[in-house]
Structure 1
Amino acid sequence: MAFFNWEEKYSVGVPRFDNEHKKLIDLTNRFYEAMKVGKARDAMQATCNELVAYTKTHFNNEEMALKQSTYPNLASHQEEHRFFTKQVMELKAKLDAGEPVMASTLGNFLKNWLVNHIMGIDKTYQKYLR
């Protein structure tokens, strides 16, 4: 059973972004599966690497679409993206340096991103991109 299942209530009404969000859910589920079987340490580096690539692509895609719309909160949305990107890069830097990182730190980060960013922040642009 997946840790986090996609439900229609998570949709932002833009198929491209819904599909990108589903990729983040898949990444989160794969990490939690690794945690369940005691392989979180092995999965952390790969998960962070995928997150770095994901943030670059997804945030760029969202911001370009928002710039082309009449979305009034672009600056604050970009600030949220910078905040998440900084957190991902800090986690990756620690892992790259061999510093200890708790699996729960990465797991909680992923969960927070899914719940707070997508359900809270991203839902606000829904009506501007339809």
Structure 2
Amino acid sequence: MEKIEKNLEEWRAMLDPEQFNVCRLSATERPFSGKYNATKTAGVYQCVCCKEPLFDSTTKFDSGCGWPSFYTPIGESAMVEIRDTSHGMIRTEVKCARCDAHLGHVFPDGPPPTGLRYCINSVCLDLVPRG
């Protein structure tokens, strides 16, 4: 995988303001506001910044948390995990491995088979439907 590196002004020019704030500045979209929170469309979710495939829709589940949730990424190398101690909490942030876009966080309260919940901001994703 070829790493994509751009400066903030290059990212700002290609993303809308909300995408930029979330993907590049680690903001969070409001819960239950994202376009993919309740989507059931079959396909592949890719990074909005670099189009790297991140999640398959078959791993999406309704966690009730207000953001799209997945129990596993599309591949082990799709994202990187980083310890996040912001906001007085200890969490694990997930970023796109190809372009370092902030995606969301992963928690150990998901369903089998992994027991993980990747809680991802819709604004960070593009869904490519199957067929």
- What TM-score does the superposition give when structure 1 sets the normalisation length? 0.31
Name the larger-Rg structure. Answer: 1
Q: Which has the higher contact order (CA 8 A, sep 6+)?
A: 1
**Structure holding more helix per residue:** 1
- What TM-score does the superposition give when structure 2 sets the normalisation length? 0.31
**Structure holding more strand per residue:** 2
